[in-house]
Amino acid sequence: MKPEYVEVAIIGSGPAGLSAAIELRRQGVKQVVVIERESLPGGVPRHCGHPPFGFREYGRIYSGPDYARRNVAEAVAAGVELRLGHTVTHLGESGQLRLVSSAGIISLNAKRVLLATGVRENPRSARLIGGDRPLGVINTGALQAYLYLHHLKPFERPLIVGTELVSLSSILSCRRAGIQPVAMIESNWRATARWPLSLFPRLCGVPLHYGAELLEIHGTGRVEAASVRLANGQVQRLECDGVLLTGNFLPEASLVRQSHLLLDANSQGPVIDQYGRCSDPAYFAAGNLLRPVETAGWSYREGARIARLLAKDLRGEIPAAHHTLTINCRGPLKLCVPQRFAPTGVAGLEHLQLRVSKACEGALTVYADGLPIWSKTLACLPERRLLIPIAALKLNARIQQLDVDVVGHAHTPPSQGETP
């Protein structure tokens, strides 16, 4: 099997992958190949029949499918090669890829590879929900596919689990299809989505229960009811014909897990430095593969930003990372992207992106070798974006240890030289 050689291969044709491909062509990279396992490009937005998409990218508001089509059209016009129905099965060292398609096995060697495989929702099995195994238990991605790709209604009166942005968009999708959810439940004591978006379910006539947990699903053949423990401890049986499990995202990092690339245990995505560069410098990563979960617009802009850095790397303008500084999360912080900093003197991503595992208040603080170098007081909520400007930290090769914490009454700063 004779290998094929390309300059840049991008795995995934969602907003991050396509924007990166477009930007690479603008940067003068001659051969950019986007590899997509599905038969149609565009990623998750092509399943989302609702607005708003694309305002910052194109100056107008699109529905998800129209936004996906615009991204694809821009990529094709830029001279990007789209390989649909091709599945990457192996990430080898130094950009050696193995693919399969209807034509058979393909060996592809790329000078650089950009991973942009996005995220997926946790299935029922990973959420440890008991009860029967009837038809009608699906996630938001499946709902969107049923409604917008296959023009089918999977249920009429579902119970919706979760209050993330994607959960609220599922209510809009249901309304467009004539589906009336019986209720929405959230295990936390407040909605994950920001106020006033969290008012949307009740404005649509959908009862919203906080502090509620789905215990069991009942049904023979298909869903008939669900048992829910409410905030007061009472277990209530809700009659419904479906259960919609929303959000609770994980990076689609199965290729990374099976490869030689380092995986971050906190984000569940690949370990990168401030250039988007993975542990093998032939690989870069962008978009929601890095952390769950950001909007399509954020992923689009991040893809373009990392594409500019990748192009610089191809031109030899970013030095090799002989030494990297690991960024450690402490206290309620559950992840940080990037996870490493290479003191090369070349600017990369603008921010450290962080998330907390629980609601807390205090000073978001960065410590270099135990000494505070940056701090900002704020209230932190789960799944909300926290940003620290990298330029403000003035990092250099002399630093041995970097810690980030939310310092409040319950937290103390790390002592100098302390190992987290």
At 140-162, the pLDDT tens digits run 989 988 998 888 999 999 999 99
Both tokens of residue 169?
């968009």
Q: Which residue(s) pair with 229 in the sheet?
A: 213, 235
Helix 15-26 crosses helix 64-77 at what angle (to 10 degrees)? 30
Query: What are 122-141's pLDDT values in tens digits?
Result: 888 888 888 889 999 999 98
> What SS3 class is residue 70?
helix
- pLDDT for 125: 82
The angle subtended at Cα 64 by Cα 178 and Cα 270, nearest 5°, is 120
Q: Who has greater pLDDT, 280 or 418? A: 280
- How far is Cα 240 from Cα 228, in angstroms, rounded to an integer? 12
- Asked whether residue 415 carries a pLDDT value surpassing 70, the answer given is no
- Asked whether residue 417 carries a pLDDT value surpassing 70, the answer given is no
Task: Using the structure block, give the residue that is written with the tokens 């009942």.
Answer: 218
- pLDDT for 42: 94
- pLDDT for 325: 92
As a whole number, mean pLDDT of residues 320-344 equals 92
- pLDDT for 418: 38
pLDDT band at 419 (very low <50, low <70, confident <90, very high): very low
- Asked whether residue 414 carries a pLDDT value surpassing 60, the answer given is no
- pLDDT for 420: 35
pLDDT band at 345 (very low <50, low <70, confident <90, very high): confident
- pLDDT for 112: 98
As a whole number, mean pLDDT of residues 369-378 equals 94
Alpha-helical regions (H) of 196-295: 200-203, 254-257
Query: What are 226-277's pLDDT values in tens digits?
Result: 999 999 999 999 999 999 999 888 999 999 999 999 999 999 999 999 999 9
Q: Which residues contact 68 (CB under 8 A, 6 or more apart)?
A: 41, 42, 43, 45, 46
- pLDDT for 358: 87
Both tokens of residue 335?
């992840």
Query: What are 187-238's pLDDT values in tens digits?
Result: 988 888 887 778 889 899 999 999 999 999 999 999 999 999 999 999 999 9
Q: Which residues contact 87 (CB under 8 A, 6 or more apart)?
A: 37, 99, 100, 101
pLDDT band at 71 (very low <50, low <70, confident <90, very high): very high
- pLDDT for 240: 97
- pLDDT for 197: 78
β-pairing verdict for 119-121 and 249-251: antiparallel
For residue 413, cis peptide bond before it (omega within 30 degrees of 0): no
CA dihedral 327, 332, 334, 339 (to 10 degrees): -10
Give the dihedral sign, CA 253/259/265/267: negative
Mean pLDDT, the chain, integer: 92
- Asked whether residue 409 carries a pLDDT value surpassing 60, the answer given is no
